[in-house]
Amino acid sequence: MDYTFIIWIVVAAAAFAFLWRKGYLLKLSQFVGQTRDELRKCAWPTKDELKGSTVVVVVSTALIGFFTVGVDFVVMRLIKFIM
């Protein structure tokens, strides 16, 4: 019979008991609750604002990529010309 499953259950139970006794589970619960409260205070963007921001990010990334490729090409040609 394979006892690995039983061993994992015992290990998980021991870890849970340790965390419970030390108060870490209570601290984790409080942290999650406080995080939820703070996230409710946030001002979330509308769908239109999110779409607009996404377009700006994609276009900016493409422009920076093209610039990097162009500069790399020019520098590579200069190095080949010099050597």
Q: What is the pLDDT of residues 14-23, one digit of tens each?
A: 999 998 898 8
Claim to verify: residue 30 and residue 50 sit in the same structural domain: no
Instruction: Judge if 59 and 78 occupy the same domain.
Output: yes
Binned at pLDDT 50, 70 and 90, residue 2 comes out as: confident
- Alpha-carbon distances, residue 72 vs 53, 66, 79 (angstroms): 28, 10, 10
Q: What is the pLDDT of residue 25?
A: 87
22 and 59 housed in the same domain: no
Q: Based on the domain organization, do 38 and 54 belong to the same domain?
A: no
pLDDT reading at 1 higher than 80: no
Question: Could you read off the pLDDT of 62-81 as tens digits, one per residue?
Answer: 999 999 999 999 999 999 99
Q: Are residues 12 and 23 in the same domain?
A: yes
Give the rounded distance of the alpha carbon of 83 from its chain centre. Answer: 45
User: What pTM did the predictor assign?
Assistant: 0.52
For CA atoms 36, 29, 12, 15, the dihedral sign is positive
The residue segments making up the domain with residue 58 are 45-83
